[in-house]
Amino acid sequence: MLAARQVHAQKIAQREVWFEYLLAAVGALLLTTGVFAGLALRRSLERQARVEEELRRAATTDDLTGLANRFELLRSLDRMIASADRTGRPLSLAILDIDRFKRVNDTWGHPAGDEVIRHVAEMAMHVVRNQDLVGRLGGEEFVIAFPDCDIDAAFRVCERLREAIATLPVILPGGIALQITLSSGVASWNGGDRTTLIARADEALYEAKGQGRDRVVSDFDALMS
């Protein structure tokens, strides 16, 4: 009987050992599964974040230049106007237009026109401050919004950009150097909405074109002309 009990106890002990092995294996499997599930979830969240970022970028960024597109530009301008109205800080706006841009497309083709637009965008980003917003309004027209900046300072920035554009040619594929010029109209916010501010800057731009292009004109100068 004692021998039989010992055999029985050994069998029970062996089953317990195997059971512990089984529990350990199941635990390791669950742990591994959890790790892989966590990694998969992390990758999924990262992919989702990238997709959302791409969608946001596509909705707010101009494909050709990487600048703010018209939608983002107008939305940001509304925020800047609300801030200027609340704080009393100055706000200026410039509309820039590439002179005789149609001639570029007609003479050298649309790829050359795209290169000219990218060149102006890059030059504009070099002369503005970090808090300024450069956007493409459409076609060959650009907008620079200058928060906390009076019209004289904004005028000087646009003049530096005009001089840089006139000095540095656009190098087309094949080494062709294309000289371009830029006209700009500058206005300062003194109440009203973005439509009013844009219209005043556009009137100044129209005056710059009328005076012979390749120049910067403020809305005050346009009014006095």
Amino acid letter for position 77: L
Does residue 15 surpass a pLDDT of 60?
A: yes
What is the model's pLDDT at position 71? 93
Among 46, 140, 141, 207, which one carries the catalytic annotation?
A: 140
Two tokens, residue 141: 């027209």
Tell me, what's the pLDDT at 179?
94
Tell whether the model's pLDDT for residue 137 goes beyond 90: yes
DSSP class of residue 91 equals E
Q: What is the rounded average pLDDT for all residues in the chain?
A: 86
Assess whether pLDDT exceeds 60 at residue 222: no
140 catalytically annotated:
yes
The model's pTM is 0.77
How many whole angstroms separate alpha carbon 81 and alpha carbon 87? 10
Q: What is the spatial distance between Cα 138 and Cα 101, in angstroms, rounded to a whole number? A: 13
Across-strand partners of 217? 185
Up-side HSE of residue 172: CA atoms within 13 Å toward CB? 17
Is residue 164 predicted with pLDDT exceeding 60? yes
Instruction: Tell me which of 159 and 39 has the higher pLDDT.
Output: 159
Burial of 58 (0-12, 13-18, 19+ CB in 10 A): exposed
